[in-house]
Amino acid sequence: MPSTLNIPVIGSGSIGTRHHNNLLELGVSSSLLSYRAVGISGVAELLEQQSVDGVVIATATPIRESLIRICAEHNVPMYIEKPLAFTMAQLDAVYGCCSPSLAGRSMVGFMMRYHPLLHRASRIDLADIYRFECVIGHDVTQWRKHWRFADSYASNPEGGGVLLDLCHELDMAKVLFPEAEAIAIHSTGHSDYPNVDFATTVSLAAANGMQGQVTMDYLSPVSTRQMTFYGLSKVVQIDLGALTFKQLDAETATTAQAESIDFDRNDMFMSAMKDFISLIGGESVGHLCPRLDNTKANNETIARAWQQRRFTGQMSHQII
């Protein structure tokens, strides 16, 4: 392997730009390519003319399948932004074109797996948990400056909407409770954006009786990101926004203090990219690393949930 890796980034939006800058900071040679400018032919030309060690795919979801396919034809490891796909047919096509070896050296962009509080939760005994809740909400119009929802990938009825956009929560739920399967999906739509979910609740259940809910929305005026686990011996409260962790039992419930952490959000992206570089080099990574080959079940849960959404109502307030 060359001393300096060459990892181009396809997709020049905010997330692609972040990955490109992080790669440069890690000492990797990287070019930032606009898919609209180069198209699939430009990507094919890049792979044929350059020595490429890996590719970051940070385009809109509907066009990723063709990019994954052409990278697979050149046996180039990929870091693919989430969601990997939003239909089972797309998902089958993606896994069908990647060899086991390539899937083991590629990643899906579930960067929340690198959140220290998820790592903290993964180290505790969750065997007696009988119910869990994962909640994320944020007013979509407040996300970024000089950004309009109507012009974004999120407003696209094919591949947009809050379930796909904020599917990290579903992935985290499956990481901690892999036996839980989605059994019902209820969504709220918007009159101006047909088939785009603005609020979605995914109900999950397991054969041992455990139940869970993952709720996400584009509407909350106050940013919220929390997980709560209810067990026979304890209650675990995790605030991913306030960066606190609290474990309570009957004796400590009134006196327990929340543990707090200090970290920068970009740390998760950097850690993910470090793992991708390690995979390219054939090095070992942690068990939570979202390799393409070990995230199939979680990707299936997301795709099935999107396909099975049931719209139970719609809103009509102005979205800009």
Among the listed residues 238, 217, 219, the one whose alpha carbon sits nearest the alpha carbon of residue 227? 238
What is the per-residue pLDDT across 41-85, written as a single tens digit (0 to 9) for each?
999 999 999 999 999 999 999 999 999 999 999 999 999 999 999
The model carries a pTM of 0.94
pLDDT at 219 over 70: yes
Please enumerate, as own/partner, the contacts of 121-125 that have beta carbons within 8 Å and a separation of 24 or more: 121/176, 121/227, 121/229, 121/236, 121/238, 121/245, 122/175, 122/176, 122/288, 124/236, 124/247
25-53: average pLDDT:
96
Q: 61: which 2 tokens?
A: 């979801």
What is the per-residue pLDDT across 76-110, written as a single tens digit (0 to 9) for each?
999 999 999 999 999 999 999 999 999 999 999 99
Specify the pLDDT at position 167.
Answer: 97
| Torsion sign across C-alpha atoms 24, 30, 31, 36 | negative
pLDDT band for position 254 (50/70/90)? Answer: low
pLDDT band for position 1 (50/70/90)? Answer: very low
Average pLDDT, whole number, for the chain?
Answer: 94
184-190: average pLDDT:
98
Q: In what order do the strands lie in the sheet with 224-231?
A: 259-260, 244-248, 235-239, 224-231, 129-137, 211-217, 199-205, 181-190, 310-315
C-alpha 317, offset from chain centre: 28
Specify the pLDDT at position 55.
Answer: 98
Specify the pLDDT at position 182.
Answer: 97
- 5 vs 150: CA distance, rounded Å: 37
H/E stretch holding 304 reads helix 296-307
Q: What proportion of the chain, given as a percentage, has pLDDT over 90? A: 88
